[in-house]
Chains A and B, each alone.
Chain A
Amino acid sequence: AQSVTQLGSHVSVSEGALVLLRCNYSSSVSVYLFWYVQYPNQGLQLLLKYLSGSTLVESINGFEAEFNKSQTSFHLRKPSVHISDTAEYFCAVSDGAGANNLFFGTGTRLTVIP
């Protein structure tokens, strides 16, 4: 089974600063990688995903993540965060096509300070 490690359970940054949320997964032949975001009192929402192709994927609200196979990483970053980005972020992995479940990390709570 896959395992996902997210370093840093809490991260606080000032509005406008760069943020980097780290995610590493256990190795596998092929994986699908995801970042989900959970705003207070809401369900998880898909932020971005890597299935194949370009290793750099972007979301519509300025987040990006890069798949690094050699380092088994899928770190999430945003060059300039906004207060509305305050939420909990979960990295998840599945064993590629045909897999029926996701393995989630323990999450990183991001707080953006005005």
Chain B
Amino acid sequence: DAGVTQSPTHLIKTRGQHVTLRCSPISGHKSVSWYQQVLGQGPQFIFQYYEKEERGRGNFPDRFSARQFPNYSSELNVNALLLGDSALYLCASSLAGTNEKLFFGSGTQLSVL
């Protein structure tokens, strides 16, 4: 079975642009979480979605938004990109809406110039 897949793997944008990152969870998993990992730091929670509803939001500005589709895939959108948004964006899926076992994708490396 395929693991969590994220696309694209790498992305380069300029300040002020918009970006959409995509995630497909493991088949059967209904929960998707997004994390931001800045170089040299641990992942930081952005959003969790379960059954297409937002279940949690981290301390990120409103420029960050997400949604989950009927097939449980998810998109993370970031508007008005800043240099500080440069990071590895990780998607994780789980069977239910709990954190007892998260399966992470390899991430999307976003560089904002």
Contact = CB atoms under 8 A, between A and B. Distances in A.
A42 B97 contact: no
A90 B56 contact: no
B8 to A, nearest CB: 15
Interface residues of A, number: 26
B98 A98 contact: yes
Contact of B106 (A9, A36, A43): A43
Contacts, number: 63
Interface string B75-113: 000000000000000101000011111111111000000
A44 B43 contact: yes
Nearest to A103: B45
Interface of A: 4, 9, 32, 36, 41-46, 49, 51, 90, 92, 94, 97-107
Given A100-B55, A104-B42, 12 more contacts: A9-B40, A32-B100, A41-B106, A43-B3, A43-B106, A46-B101, A49-B101, A51-B100, A90-B42, A100-B50, A100-B56, A101-B56
